[in-house]
Amino acid sequence: MKKKVISLTLGLIFALSTTVWGQKQEKNSNSSSSISTSTSTASASSNSSDIENTKVSIERAIWLDNDSKTKEIVIPVETKSKKLQLVINSAITSGKLSIEIYDPKGEKQGNFSIGTQTNLGSQEKVRGNISKSLKEPLVGKWMIKIIPSEASGDVHIQTSIKL
Amino acid sequence: MRMPLAYILKLSLSIIFFGTQLASGQSKTGGSLSGQLKLDSSWSSTLYLSHIPSFDDRYVMSNEMIISNTNIDNLGYFSFDISFLPEEENLFRLHLCKKGDSPASLIIGGKEENHLFLIASRYASIQLEANTSLPPFKHAKFINSGLNTSFQRITDLVNRADSIISESGAAKRKFIVNKLQKELRSIADSANDPLISLYAVYQSKYETNYTDHIDFYSSYIEKWENNDSNYFKSFKKQLIIPSTNYFPIIQILFALSLIALGFFIGRHGKRKKKKEIEKLSVQERKIFELLKQGATNQEISNQYHIEISTAKSHVSNILSKLNVKSRKDIMNI
């Protein structure tokens, strides 16, 4: 019995490790980002045929530490996807931050800017969030531009593509 | 008892006057912004009012922009005293925060969109009702404020189109977007209020299509050329309309003439220097050639088998005749 429990536990740990296998962490002096990828697959059957829905969800986190370097996050939509959902959450305690979303044609599809007052120090926090949902999104490279100006805080990007 | 006619006339006029004042929602005694929202327990009970200095700042959030806040009671009622606002109409934003979030918090899109735009001024009397909780300002209605009712119609039109667009395929999306933009340009053209008109232009995403409708935007700018509000100034800066005036051609011609002038001055300078060189004696010209190569007095003396003092004397004469101050100047000739 004990052996079964141990092997089951080891199996679960192995499965968990493989799902976060795509994780990569980069650290430099000003900013760091981590990307985690998880893919979920579900299938359902009807009377006539099997239907399979696949959803690819990606979460990215970018930390800013007095950062002024523009970053471009590319979201590739490679096949004719059914739906694209994009949620960007950001919070800063100093500086300014602008977020812009561009479709593969280069047209801006959303944006916001948040900024702190210089005289409140780290007591101030400003938050910005944008959600976009699109059926049959344009195929190509969607881009999220992160434009900090001496900003400290974080940006979390959740993208979900339904195939 | 018969009432004097003059008295009846005065009373009637007073009733008509105060009646019109109430009907227009304008009271010179100070404005108010009040209403009722339907909120679930995830929202904090504070409502914030921010001033938006230009339409380009609609999606900018900072604590500095927040000019007032008020409490929302258990039934969702709120009220702002807006008697400190400017007399002219300006754009403002109401927003809520989730519990635990900082006051400066902007959420765009989705079920938790937390803000609403409106036009207000010091003497405006604005009442707002919002009957849905997700998001809190969806289907908001302005009561007794014709201006904001028109303003909200534009917002509702865009929101409806956006929800259709998000559920439509790529081909259908293009048609819906074009139709929406055309409708918004039409609203912008016909609106009498400048902020309503400009709001419609911004919502039409003019920056993506103004080159296809240059005539419309040229006449639009002309229509509002006397409006010097910050809103129009900011808009005009973004718009680069090609003009038919000749000023650029004049500028190019002026630049070309300056270049030609510079050329002729330089050429004249060269000719002058050539004439001065011709004044040098045969020996001085030979030494001049050595000086141009950076030769020292010793090298000149060795080359032409002359005393160093003689070489120095020749160099001095050359400098004087060519009207230069140093050997370096000779090397630059």
Residue of A nearest to B107 (CA): A129
Contacts of A154 in chain B (CB under 8 A): none
pLDDT for A19 equals 55
Helix (H, G, I), strand (E, B) or coil at B291: helix
Element (H, E) at B11: helix B5-24
Q: Which residues contact B173 (CB under 8 A, 6 or more apart)?
A: B165
pLDDT of A87 strictly over 50: yes
The torsion angles phi and psi of B147, rounded to 5 degrees, stand at -60, -50
CA distance B330 to B319: 8
pLDDT band per the 50, 70, 90 thresholds, residue A11: low
Residue A115, chain B, CB below 8 Å: the answer is: yes
Q: Which residues contact B25 (CB under 8 A, 6 or more apart)?
A: B124, B125, B126, B144, B145, B146
Contacts of B210 in chain A (CB under 8 A): none
Residues B214-241 have pLDDT tens digits of 899 999 999 999 999 999 999 998 877 6
pLDDT band per the 50, 70, 90 thresholds, residue B139: confident
Contacts 24+ apart (CB under 8 A), B287-293: B287/B311, B287/B314, B287/B315, B287/B318, B288/B318, B288/B322, B288/B330, B291/B315, B291/B318, B291/B327, B291/B330, B291/B331, B292/B330, B292/B331, B292/B333, B293/B331
Mean pLDDT on B276-300? 88
- Looking at residue B39, its amino acid is L
Chosen for mutation from A84, A113, A139 (greatest number of chain B CBs closer than 10 Å) is A113
pLDDT of B35 strictly over 70: yes
Helix (H, G, I), strand (E, B) or coil at A72: strand
pLDDT band per the 50, 70, 90 thresholds, residue B36: very high
Least confident of A73-82, A127-136, B107-116, B148-157: A73-82
Residue of A nearest to B168 (CA): A135
The minimum CA-CA distance between A21 and chain B, rounded to whole Å, is: 31
Least confident of B10-19, B47-56, B166-175, B200-209: B10-19
- Show which residues on chain B lie within 8 Å of chain A, measured between beta carbons: 59-64, 101-102, 104-110, 112, 165-170, 207-208
- Nearest by CB to B170, from A108, A133, A138: name it: A138
Residue A104, chain B, CB below 8 Å: the answer is: no
Residues A92-114: b if buried by 16+ CB within 10 A, e if exposed: bbbbbbbbbbbbeeeeebbbbbb
Any idea what DSSP says for residue B230?
A: H
Residue of A nearest to B62 (CA): A115
- Contact (Cβ atoms closer than 8 angstroms) between residue B324 and residue B297: no
Chosen for mutation from B44, B52, B62, B101 (greatest number of chain A CBs closer than 10 Å) is B62
Provide the pairing of β-strand A126-135 with B105-108. Answer: parallel
pLDDT of B185 strictly over 90: yes
Answer yes or no: do B61 and A128 touch at CB < 8 A: yes
* Overall pTM surpassing 0.80 (yes/no): no
pLDDT band per the 50, 70, 90 thresholds, residue A95: very high
Sign of CA dihedral A112, B135, B76, B26: positive
DSSP secondary structure, B53-120, as one string: SSGGGTTEEEGGGEEEEEE--TTSEEEEE-TTS-SS-EEEEEEEEETTS-SSEEEESSTT--EEEEEE
Please report, rounded to a whole number, the percentage of residues in chain B having pLDDT higher than 70: 87
pLDDT for A12 equals 72
User: Which parts of chain B are beta strand (E)?
Assistant: 32-36, 43-52, 60-62, 66-71, 77-81, 90-98, 105-108, 115-120, 125-129, 141-143
pLDDT for A120 equals 62
CA distance B104 to B96: 9
Residue A140, chain B, CB below 8 Å: the answer is: no
CA distance B59 to B63: 13
pLDDT of B14 strictly over 70: no
What rounded mean pLDDT belongs to chain A?
A: 78
pLDDT of B21 strictly over 70: no
Mean pLDDT on B197-206? 95
Answer yes or no: do A130 and B109 touch at CB < 8 A: yes
Token pair 């979920």 is found at A40
Residue A50, chain B, CB below 8 Å: the answer is: no
Residue of A nearest to B170 (CA): A136
- How far, in whole angstroms, is CA B329 from its chain's centroid? 52
pLDDT for A46 equals 34
- Nearest by CB to B167, from A117, A130, A135: name it: A135
Helix (H, G, I), strand (E, B) or coil at B239: coil
Least confident of A10-14, A43-47, A61-65, A114-118: A43-47
pLDDT for A63 equals 96
The minimum CA-CA distance between B276 and chain A, rounded to whole Å, is: 59
Chosen for mutation from A86, A105, A123, A129 (greatest number of chain B CBs closer than 10 Å) is A129
Residue of B nearest to A132 (CA): B109
The minimum CA-CA distance between B104 and chain A, rounded to whole Å, is: 5
Task: Give, in order, the Cα–Cα distances in Å from B304 to each of B110, B129, B278, B319, B327.
Answer: 93, 105, 20, 19, 18
